[in-house]
């Protein structure tokens, strides 16, 4: 029997596990454990047939008394834990993104540092000092020229020029209030950031770094957190922060639907054909499976103890 050439992987933060799911039924096909507490995030490296899972620590943003210092490397072909990358003295690795230069950039929150890793060798190759210990998430422009970190309670976004030899901080954008999430469009020259205090989305020009406009989130009673684009930039989901609601936009930021999901939705992913959106509901231990055409939840399977993030993948 030949191995599947595609799949679905989820990070079960509450269970400290990584799960391989059936992409059609969402049944758990394989469970990987032996992770330190707690895996938080996920980056698929399609050219390497592997994934990085940062071990943030046993806390949450702003309250992480025992920060982690490892990144798990998952073999997507064998569906097993390959090894750990030990990043000490840096700690609390969180969001990781792949740059156009082929290197991986990871926020190390408590260390106020972006760690740069060569995915060919899984070795750290560089560091970029940040002006904030609240840098929880990052995003990279599709051109690969700039990286942006959201610095949560500092109410700033740090801009890093990746064209310089070692990455240079070129600006700290002052935001009206604290922010919760950040994402750059792969289709249009803008990025979005979620307000941490109100149900509001900021739209920033990717070149000038100025706020273009604010988008309210009708139906949300509280602030949102994660913002995530589909791979082609044609869709954007903005996920409530501790509130069971999401808002779906098209790539031009026209609101499409407000959809009620499970308790404490954390993150989500679009299917490769953009027909389905999956939302991980951490408090419920479920997924909300959403049909994008109708904007309706069509299934709510139980998956793990409480997943934070998941992603489809295709083997190269």
pLDDT of 65: 83
Q: How far apart are CA 265 and CA 246, in angstroms?
A: 8
pTM of the model: 0.97
Spatial CA neighbour of 95 closest among 25, 58, 149: 149
Q: How far apart are CA 300 and CA 288, in angstroms?
A: 5
Q: How far apart are CA 28 and CA 114, in angstroms?
A: 33
**Helices (H), ranges, 49-128:** none
Q: Can you point out the beta strands (E) in 220-300?
A: 224-229, 235-240, 245-250, 255-260, 265-270, 276-281, 286-291, 296-299
If you count DSSP H runs as helices and E runs as strands, how many of each does the chain have, helices first? 0, 28
Q: Is 14 exposed, middle or buried (0-12, 13-18, 19+ CB in 10 A)?
A: middle
Spatial CA neighbour of 179 closest among 244, 139, 224: 224
pLDDT of 257: 97
Q: How far apart are CA 163 and CA 167, in angstroms?
A: 7
Spatial CA neighbour of 148 closest among 132, 156, 159: 159
pLDDT of 1: 40
Residues of the chain with pLDDT under 70: 1-3
């Amino acid at each position: 029997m030949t191995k599947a050439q595609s799949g679905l992987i989820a990070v079960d933060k509450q269970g400290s596990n990584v799960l391989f799911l059936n992409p059609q039924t969402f049944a758990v096909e394989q469970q990987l454990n032996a992770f330190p507490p707690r895996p938080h995030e996920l980056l698929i490296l399609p050219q390497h047939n592997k994934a990085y899972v940062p071990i943030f620590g046993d806390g949450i943003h702003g309250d992480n008394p025992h920060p982690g210092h490892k990144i798990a490397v998952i073999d997507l072909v064998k569906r097993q834990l390959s090894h750990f990358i030990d990043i000490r003295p840096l700690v609390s690795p969180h969001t990781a993104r792949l740059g156009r230069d082929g290197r991986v950039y990871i926020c190390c929150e408590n260390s106020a540092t972006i760690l740069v890793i060569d995915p060919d060798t899984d070795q750290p190759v560089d560091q970029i000092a940040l002006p904030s210990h609240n840098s929880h998430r990052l995003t990279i422009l599709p051109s690969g020229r700039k990286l942006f970190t959201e610095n949560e309670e500092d109410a700033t976004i740090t801009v890093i020029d990746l064209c310089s030899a070692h990455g240079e901080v070129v600006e700290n954008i002052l935001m009206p209030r604290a922010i919760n999430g950040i994402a750059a469009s792969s289709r249009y020259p803008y990025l979005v950031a979620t307000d941490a205090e109100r149900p509001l989305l900021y739209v920033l020009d990717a070149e000038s770094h100025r706020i273009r406009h604010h988008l309210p989130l009708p139906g949300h009673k509280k602030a949102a957190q994660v913002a995530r684009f589909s791979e082609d930039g044609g869709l954007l989901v903005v996920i409530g922060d501790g509130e069971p609601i999401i808002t779906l936009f098209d790539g031009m930021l026209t609101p499409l639907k407000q959809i009620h999901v499970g308790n404490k939705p954390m993150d989500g992913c679009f299917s490769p054909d953009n027909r389905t959106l999956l939302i991980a509901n951490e408090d419920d231990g479920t997924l909300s499976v959403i049909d994008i055409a109708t904007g309706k939840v069509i299934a709510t399977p139980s998956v793990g103890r409480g997943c934070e993030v998941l992603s489809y993948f295709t083997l190269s």
